[in-house]
Amino acid sequence: MGGTLATLELADLAAACDVLHAACAHDRAALVAEEKLFGASPRGLPKAIAARKGGILVGVAATCGDRVRVLAVHPAARGEGIGGQLLAACEAEIWQNAARRARLLDEPGNYLAPGIDLTNKDTIAWLERKGYVCRDKHTNLLVDVKHNAKVTEARFAEMVERCAQRGYHVRRATRADSEALSASISMGFGGAWPFEIERALAAEPPGVFVAWRAGRPAAFAAHDGNNQGLGWFGPAGTWPEHRGQGLGEALLVGCLLDIAADHATAEIAWIGPRDFYEKAVGVTGERTFAVMTKDSPFKRATIPPL
Ligand SMILES: CC(C)(COP(=O)(O)OP(=O)(O)OC[C@H]1O[C@@H](n2cnc3c(N)ncnc32)[C@H](O)[C@@H]1OP(=O)(O)O)[C@@H](O)C(=O)NCCC(=O)NCCS
């Protein structure tokens, strides 16, 4: 019973995609396998773990900082202790990083989801049996981008024009904007957003729209800065002095039109102002996620005086 654990190598990516495809019914994990298993976050590179049985890859996990980024066991290999082995290996890494609390999935800048999908009841129950508790909940909104009267090129053009009349130049960002944007977003918003903006800017065409005023960004919005290729919207922000001018709405529609080129539905991740999205583009569905955490069994190390 159980499997053999080892470091997951890039050469295992195709097999890892197969495991994620079979295992993760609630998240499109296989489509972002490389980003989740091997990609950086603002904290650095993850440690990716392979579980094999008879030489065949049957489970994968990745951890970074205090987060378990991804954890999955092929349905044909479940109930044999392999998920437990992978989780214990992730936790060992997390406690070694001196973290006081382990969390699943919601790693800033590189998250598969903002937590475990509430409809993934078996996994939540399994985690609870492993000592995890739900500390918070987050919501993603789903927006129809194919048949939506609020997501059209004509409406976008109108909104861009209205912004221009108010003194704002709305346009797609280019990679040459990277330095100015990153510096402004770092100072105005911080967190993992500059990291996600950089990733969105690297796409072709860059997945970032900006409203400029007097050579400085007044608002920005991005898509596919995390979970690249899934059509997720965010992050987005308008500097406080420029709010209430229709900038956020215009930039949102610009991004959703991009997403519509490849997807029928956009996912607005980790939302704050639900009413804003409802009014701006309509909401067709939502997903809610449980933030599952477990406290370290170890006491905080005594920090020696300087
Ligand atoms: C959650 C998940 C990883 C569990 O994987 P698993 O390999 O079945 O997990 P385990 O075998 O360790 O645990 C399952 C049960 O088998 C039992 N078990 C059977 N044989 C065992 C053995 N030899 N050693 C230890 N436990 C064993 C465990 O006690 C456990 O019982 P419990 O469910 O009552 O706690 C798996 O169901 C999965 O991949 N889910 C979908 C992926 C997902 O949604 N991940 C989150 C987003 S990435």
pLDDT tens across the length of the chain (306 residues): 799 999 999 999 999 999 999 999 999 999 999 999 999 999 999 999 999 999 999 999 999 999 999 999 999 999 999 999 999 999 999 999 889 999 999 999 999 999 999 999 999 999 999 999 999 999 999 999 999 999 999 999 999 999 999 999 999 999 999 999 999 999 999 899 999 999 999 999 999 999 999 999 999 999 999 999 999 999 999 999 999 999 999 999 999 999 999 999 999 998 888 899 999 999 999 999 999 999 999 876 543 454
For residue 242, the CA-to-ligand 1 centroid distance in Å is 50
SS3 content of the chain, % helix, strand, coil (to 5): 35, 30, 35
**Pair 178, 187: CB distance under 8 Å:** no
CA gap 100, 98 in Å, rounded: 6
Ligand 1 contact, 126 CB (< 6 A): yes
- Best mutation site among 18, 112, 126, 134 for ligand 1, i.e. most ligand atoms within 8 A of its Cβ? 126
* C-alpha to C-alpha distance for 246 and 226, rounded to whole angstroms: 25
Atom 26 of ligand 1, residue of closest alpha carbon: 81
Cβ(162) – ligand 1 distance below 6 Å: no
Q: How, if at all, do strands 67-73 and 101-104 pair?
A: parallel
Helix (H/G/I), strand (E/B), else coil: 38: helix
DSSP string of 164-175, one letter each residue:
HHTT-EEEE--G
Apex CA 107: angle with CA 202 and CA 233, to 5°?
50
Angle at 147 between CA 141 and CA 149, to 5 degrees: 90
Which pLDDT does position 301 carry in this prediction?
A: 54
Q: Is 33 helix (H, G, I), strand (E, B) or coil?
A: helix
Q: Tell me, what's the pLDDT at 304? A: 43
Residue 88 pLDDT: 98
Question: How far apart, in whole angstroms, are the C-alpha atoms of residue 189 and residue 267?
Answer: 21
Q: What is the DSSP letter of 177?
A: G
Domains of the chain: 4-135 (3.40.630.30), 146-263 (3.40.630.30)
Residue bearing tokens 């979970």: 227
What stretch of H or E contains 49? strand 47-53
Mutation choice for ligand 1 from 78, 124, 291, CB with most ligand atoms inside 8 A: 78
Quote the CA–CA distance of 144 and 16 in Å, as a whole number. 31
Q: In degrees rounded to 5, what are phi and psi of residue 279?
A: -75, -40
Distances (CA, A) of 145 to 129, 130, 140, 165, 232: 40, 40, 15, 27, 12
Q: Does 120 contact ligand 1 (Cβ within 6 A)?
A: yes
Task: Yes or no: say if 250 and 160 are a contact pair by the CB < 8 Å rule.
Answer: yes
Closest to 237 (Cα-Cα) out of 275, 207, 200, 272: 272
| pLDDT for position 300 | 63
37 close to 48: Cβ distance less than 8 angstroms? yes
Ligand 1: centre distance to CA 83 (Å): 4
Specify the pairing of strand 133-144 against strand 116-117. Answer: unpaired
| Ligand 1 binding pocket includes 191 (Cβ within 6 Å) | no
Q: Which atom of ligand 1 is nearest to the CA of 84?
A: 12
Ligand 1 in reach of 72 Cβ (< 6 A): yes
Beta bridge partners, 211, equal 170, 219
From the list 300, 305, 291, the residue with the least C-alpha distance to 103 is 291
Q: How many angstroms is it from 110 CA to the middle of ligand 1?
A: 24
Full DSSP string of 215-280: TEEEEEEEESSSSTTS-EEEEEEE-GGGTTSSHHHHHHHHHHHHHHTT-SEEEE-S-S-HHHHHHH
Cβ of 73 below 6 Å from ligand 1:
yes
Q: What three-state secondary structure class fits 112? A: coil
